[in-house]
Structure 1
Amino acid sequence: MVGKVKVMLPVLLCVSVMTLSGCGSKKQTDQALQTEKKGDAMGTEESLDSKSLGIGEGRTTEGMLPVYFDFDSSDIRKDQVARIQVNAEFINTNQKGYEVRIEGNTDPRGTNEYNMALGERRALSAKKYLMNLGVDEAKLTTVSYGEERLLLQGNDEMSWAQDRRDDFVVVQ
């Protein structure tokens, strides 16, 4: 048996070296990866002088604040009322010609379907609260990202608490 192993070892080594070295042509691979260069730019040119609204806390546009929720809830918490009031004031005073997209988010616990529905309920809850504070409904849109846009990837309560939020994003 030891004799067979001594014979098979060099054979296996040779087969492995031949398999790994391959016979591919580098020239053909390089040609396949080259892209055709065109002189035309894609899209329209944007002015460098345009006003940028940066990102503040979370994914919320600077000047507004995200609103955080309790586990499995879409009710605006009492400690978050001041944040939503700041957002209402910002929208009413600063955003002429803009809309604000309310993005509902959840932590990763629960099924995708459940989290999408919960994110939508959270976004709609914030929209209703803003409308009660005098924000024009035409300025507000909602979307649910469920668990798709996590801020923190941790598996602890602190990470999950950051993911249970509504972001407020200015869109044109």
Structure 2
Amino acid sequence: MSSKKMLNFVMLAFLALGVSLTGCSKKAADTTSQVTGTEGAGASEPLETEDSGIMEGRTSGPMVPVYFEFDSSSITGEQVQRIETNADFIKKNPDLKIRIEGNCDPRGTQEYNIALGERRAQSAKTYLINLGVNSNQLTTVSFGEEKLLLFGHDEISWAQNRRDDFVIVK
């Protein structure tokens, strides 16, 4: 092997080693944030959450997030079973307060995504109420594209970001 090829091989090996060792560190969730969201006519609430264990998305376990099709706020298909699971849990725990957080993928304008996130959260709230959940247990907020789970520019990432999270609040 020529010295030039050997040098290229060594440089490539060091580059690969450096990339594999440096990766992105996971950032701890800040659950003490006092950011407020919007609901209805501008009411706000602290965004503190109870430490109940996050299972999927940013949803408090044992509830699960509900996912949406592109540019939609309709709960359809297998998502019906997911929201029914959440309704059962909420009805069995009448002292809990649940914040429904509407989220979007990063496509579209910020204003559009905030409105779509609000429609998604309101759609889930209405669905839960129709399943017998007490409306006093539920609040909504839209984060639009502000709380992405995945930052890729592909359908898998976008699909994970088009969701409602169900968070137990203090």
Structure 2 length-normalised TM: 0.69
Q: Give the 5 Å matches for 1:19-98.
A: 52-96=51-95, 98=96
Return the alpha-carbon distance in structure 2 between the equivalents of residues 61 and 55 of structure 1. Answer: 5
Return the alpha-carbon distance in structure 2 between the equivalents of residues 167 and 59 of structure 1. Answer: 6
Number of equivalenced pairs: 121
Displacement of 1:52 after TM fit? 4.0
Aligned to 1:133: 131
Return the alpha-carbon distance in structure 1 between the equivalents of residues 94 and 167 of structure 2. Answer: 11
Aligned to 1:110: 108
Encode CA deviations 1:27-67: one digit per residue, 9 max, x unaligned. Answer: xxxxxxxxxxxxxxxxxxxxxxxx84111100000110000
Gaps of 5+ in 2: 1-49
Displacement of 1:120 after TM fit? 0.1
Displacement of 1:164 after TM fit? 0.1
Return the alpha-carbon distance in structure 1 between the equivalents of residues 145 and 51 of structure 2. Answer: 28
Check whether the contact 1:104–1:119 (CA below 8 A) recurs between aligned residues: yes
Identical amino acids, percent of aligned pairs:
65
Aligned to 1:47: none
Encode CA deviations 1:113-163: one digit per residue, 9 max, x unaligned. Answer: 000000000000000000000000000000000000000000000000000
Check whether the contact 1:120–1:143 (CA below 8 A) recurs between aligned residues: yes
Gaps of 5+ in 1: 1-50
Encode CA deviations 1:58-104: one digit per residue, 9 max, x unaligned. Answer: 000011000000000000022100000000000010342x2100000
Higher percent of residues as helix: 1
For the pair shown, the structure with the greater C-alpha radius of gyration is 1
Return the alpha-carbon distance in structure 1 between the equivalents of residues 153 and 94 of structure 2. Answer: 37
Return the alpha-carbon distance in structure 2 between the equivalents of residues 60 and 158 of structure 1. Answer: 19
Q: CA RMSD in A?
A: 1.1
Structure 1 length-normalised TM: 0.69
